[in-house]
Amino acid sequence: MTGPWIDVSVPLRNGMSGWPGDKPFERTLTHTIAGGASNNLSQFASSAHVGTHMDAPLHFLADAPSVDSMPIDAVVGPARVVGIADADSICPEHLEPLALQRGERVLFRTRNSDRRLLEHEFARDFVAISPEGARYLAERGVRTVGVDYLSVGAFREESGRETHRVLLGAGVWIVEGLNLADVEPGNYEMICLPLRLAGSDGAPARAVLRRI
Ligand SMILES: [Zn+2]
């Protein structure tokens, strides 16, 4: 028995919040039927790390793999949604009880989801994975890590960079900006497909889950 598909990706729309300093998502119509054209036609411009998206190793490591080389099985298959309640950051003490298996896909549902942070202005105080937590995940050999805000690492630059480097350096694929507000912790089937942007450090993704 499987449940219905739940869309856990963020709609890309003008005015949505993004990482400070990054190019915001902006879609404009270049042709409109109302304006006499034969069709409606959009163009868009954006940071590659907007809304629900993936980070490739190349994001923080020079000469590392880009997003178009991602193995599909990193993001299609069983995934565990883990609830992390009342933590300011995800640390080894939260991870030890999970008995994580090598090759697991793990998605963290934190207070970010309760606060529905992705729907609001950028917030610096989001829950992220600490560098120690990242080292623990890398040592356990997890395949993919997903988080419910725009970065796996904290806003503080040094800490955020370290978390990214540890995970990406260990070959862990990263999904950021998952909307887990209406998703309960448990076991799911995941499909999360980033756009195949050739040579890119990241790409927006469509992500869906269904309970198994
Ligand atoms: Zn990113």
Both tokens of 16, joined, read: 């949505």
Q: Kindly give the distance from the C-alpha atom of residue 152 to the centroid of ligand 1, in angstroms, as a whole number.
A: 8
pLDDT for res 15 = 96
Spatial neighbors of 17 by CB under 8 A, at least 6 apart, are: 118, 120, 121, 122
Q: Kindly give the distance from the C-alpha atom of residue 201 to the centroid of ligand 1, in angstroms, as a whole number.
A: 8
Alpha carbon distance 187, 108 (integer Å): 12
pLDDT for res 1 = 77
pLDDT for res 36 = 97
Phi-psi region of 51 (alpha: psi -120 to 50; beta: other; left: phi over 0): left
Q: Is the dihedral of CA 155, 22, 190, 70 positive or negative?
A: negative
Q: Kindly give the distance from the C-alpha atom of residue 32 to the centroid of ligand 1, in angstroms, as a whole number.
A: 33
- Percent of the chain whose predicted confidence (pLDDT) is above 90: 97
Per-state percent for the chain, helix, strand, coil, to nearest 5: 20, 30, 50
For 79-135, write each residue's pLDDT tens digit: 999 999 988 999 999 999 999 999 999 999 999 999 999 999 999 999 999 999 999
Q: Kindly give the distance from the C-alpha atom of residue 105 to the centroid of ligand 1, in angstroms, as a whole number.
A: 17
CB-based burial, 102-137: b 16+ in 10 Å, e otherwise:
eebbbbbbbbbbebebbeeeeeeebbbbbbbbbbbb
pLDDT for res 194 = 98
Residue 9, pLDDT > 80, answer: yes
Contact present, 173 and 64 (Cβ < 8 Å): no
Question: What is the average pLDDT across 191-197?
Answer: 98
pLDDT for res 86 = 85
Alpha carbon distance 138, 86 (integer Å): 23
The DSSP secondary-structure symbol of 116 reads T
For 124-172, write each residue's pLDDT tens digit: 999 999 999 999 999 999 999 999 999 999 999 899 999 999 999 999 9
Our CA angle for 3, 212, 186, nearest 5°, is 105
Question: How does the average pLDDT of the chain come out, rounded?
Answer: 97
Q: Which amino acid is at 58?
A: L
Both tokens of 27, joined, read: 């879609």
pLDDT for res 2 = 87
Both tokens of 53, joined, read: 């998206």
pLDDT for res 140 = 98
164 is an active site residue = no
Both tokens of 141, joined, read: 């050999």
CA distances from 13 to 10, 45, 200 (A): 9, 11, 22
pLDDT for res 92 = 97
Q: Which residue has the tokens 């040579």?
A: 199
Residue 201, pLDDT > 90, answer: yes
For 69-80, write each residue's pLDDT tens digit: 999 999 999 999
Q: Which residue has the tokens 């304006």?
A: 35
pLDDT for res 143 = 98
Residue 3, pLDDT > 80, answer: yes
Question: What is the average pLDDT across 189-202?
Answer: 98
Catalytic site residue from 31, 49, 53, 59: 59
Alpha carbon distance 25, 128 (integer Å): 23
Q: Kindly give the distance from the C-alpha atom of residue 172 to the centroid of ligand 1, in angstroms, as a whole number.
A: 13
